[in-house]
Chain A
Amino acid sequence: MSTVTADLSPPLSLPFHAGALAVLAVAYLVVPFIGSSYLFEAILLPFLALSLAGVGLNILTGYAGQVSLGSAAFMAVGAFAAYNFNLRVEALPLIGSIVLAGLSAAAIGIVFGLPSLRLRGFYLAVSTLAAQFFVQWALTKFGWFSNNSASGVIDAPPLSLAGLSFEGPVGRYLFALTVVAVLTFLAYRLVSSQTGRNFIAVRDNETAARIIGVPVLRTKLLAFGVSSFIIGVAGVLWAFAYLRTVEPAGFNLDRSFQILFIVIIGGLASIRGAFFGAALIVVFPLVLSRLGAFLLGDIFDSGVLDMTQRIVIGAFIILFLVLEPDGLVALWDRLKSRITAALRRA
């Protein structure tokens, strides 16, 4: 019944493996040497953080079928938890702060996922908004979370891992890339395991899933936990690697929607989709602002740009839902098979 289909290819089949490795090789060995600092600061760092958040939400929404409108809240939990662990626990390595931050986000995610045991569909989507508003309020209200800085702003600590320091745009890029690569690999393994199949079973038909012996309650909470963990770490990357200075207001409802849009545009129930979607969401506003300034000149100020952006993104969403519900991933796959077919014929 569901329109979303899953990547049911056997785990670690060669093409995926080879493709992913090729991308990683380029990302590690070529990009750091040719990229400009603008490329890292304005495109690659937000892209990596948002992709990871997209992967996280995709596990919950794409695979387990629970719509969440509170992703930005879990990003905020991750960012502020990492900041506090780093600040308050002596001699805790950065990686420890990040893992603990992910776990904190997972714990909050499970708490706000509890209603999913009783609620479905819209009722659940609305109740995840509670997380969004509550977390943002708590982070702004209680100065402790931001070490009593004005309006809850936090500054990122220097990034270092096992004695290596990741300073400068390239360093932060490599740091983010490593975190994203590791977590994406784990997420990929998870969704192609028994647990991933359970997620899909719960999404497609809860009653049937229960009958074939899937522990529905545990599976749902696990989906909330895993998804929030990943989104929380994405929040750490957003705060520590990309912006370096964040406030709770940066993790607002618009950010949550942005992540949801990434998942829809990229393709539901596809790990790769999150990367496609994030690329579009990050690059598109930059292209639009250049294009607008070029075509319209002075009329195209930041206000107009903002509104045009909203309109075009909204239109994208509807277009994708109508024309290509499986997202950019499906487009990409079709393009690829067409090219291979053409090559074979030639």
Chain B
Amino acid sequence: MAEFDWLFFTEVLIGGLLSGVMYSLVAIGFVLIYKTSGVLNFSQGALLLFAALTFVSLVEKGVPFAAAFAITFAAMVVIGVAIERTVLRPLTNKPPITLFMATLGLSYIIEGAAQLIWGTQVHGLDLGIEDIPFDVGGVFISQFDIFAAVVAASMVGALSAFFRYTRIGLGFRAVADDQFAALAVGLKLPWIWASVWAAAGLVALVAGLLWGARLGVQFSLSLVVLKALPVLVLGGFDSILGAIVGGLLVGASEKLAEVYIGDYFGGGIEGWFAYVVALAFLLIRPSGLFGQKLVERV
């Protein structure tokens, strides 16, 4: 091998980190719901697809950008409330794995409904950000990636502040800490769950728009969940910070592996590499980087 090309390495690394931010954005949606209801919400990808499809279809029908965003967000809130009513409430106090399977069923329903309503064709989505790479000291960085990273960062900032400084955020944290105690001090669990799902819907909408602009709005959008899962495993299911760090780690290692060792495997390793990294990592720290240690009482 010739001399190691540091410039190229940096470019790959930065590209990886920035795409990792996109993974984090999806992962945060999971974390929100896991934190407050202890459910690994598999339907997050379906929600993302639903949000992006609804938004795009509205825009194509001539609805202005802001209005389409507002309408889609309203739809996500309605869905969140409906899910709380029909799925979560009847399954309160069931084992987490039951709830997980319910969200699997939910993801089928949402995916099916989204495509039944809006059709299965691929929609292009233009957010008005051009994807022109620009030059920073010899390293090319995509403008769109930067934009996505900024959006993700502000999203995380807003959510953290929300959890930290608002009364509702305090309620969220109380429920996350101990459902029974939260109920006992008079917090309205259904209301909190509905608003958490609405918040997750908002995250899904933002992530759906960014991913949709990248890949086109179509069915495969719901598969970005599968990219987000190793991120969650790495970072821990209940940590927003973990989702960010996990996303960066997965994004960077995936790109670097694809470029530097992918050839030894004949390419196409990005489908499972993240899982292997996450697994190897889990064997050392079973609850992720920032996940809470599970204390099991017998």
Contacts and interface: CB of A to CB of B under 8 A. Distances in A.
A145 to B, nearest CB: 13
A231 B91 CA distance: 30
Contacts of A126: 229-230, 232-233, 275, 278
A264 B94 CA distance: 15
A133 interface: yes
B90 A322 contact: yes
Contact of B101 (A120, A136, A310, A321): A321
Q: Interface centre among A1, A126, A141, A260, by most B CB within 10 Å?
A: A126
A307 interface: yes
A119 B233 CA distance: 11
B279 A127 contact: yes
Band of interface residues on B: 35 or more
Contact of A317 (B104, B110, B112, B226): B104
A332 to B, nearest CB: 21
Contacts of B171: none
Contact of B102 (A121, A127, A311, A321): A321
B283 interface: yes
A2 B120 CA distance: 40
A67 interface: yes
A122 B237 contact: yes
Contacts of A120: 286, 294
B95 A317 contact: no
A325 to B, nearest CB: 7
Contact of A121 (B96, B106, B110, B230): B96
Contact of A134 (B86, B229, B275, B282): B275
B290 to A, nearest CB: 14
Contacts, number: 136
Interface stretch (B131-139, B161-169, B265-273): B265-273
A257 B86 CA distance: 22
Interface in A101-151: 115, 118-123, 125-127, 129-130, 133-134, 136-137, 141-142
B113 interface: yes
B11 interface: no
Contact of B286 (A118, A308, A321): A118
A311 B279 contact: no
B298 A207 contact: yes
Contacts of B243: none
A208 interface: yes
A322 B105 CA distance: 12
B283 A133 contact: no
A13 interface: no
A307 B115 contact: yes
A314 B233 contact: no
A179 interface: no
A130 B120 CA distance: 28
Given A3-B95, A306-B112, A307-B115, 19 more contacts: A67-B100, A118-B283, A120-B286, A121-B97, A122-B237, A123-B287, A123-B288, A130-B279, A142-B266, A205-B298, A260-B101, A261-B105, A307-B116, A308-B116, A313-B105, A313-B108, A314-B106, A321-B91, A322-B90
17 contacts: A67-B100, A118-B286, A119-B286, A127-B278, A127-B279, A130-B272, A133-B226, A133-B275, A137-B272, A208-B298, A303-B115, A303-B120, A310-B108, A311-B116, A313-B108, A318-B109, A321-B101
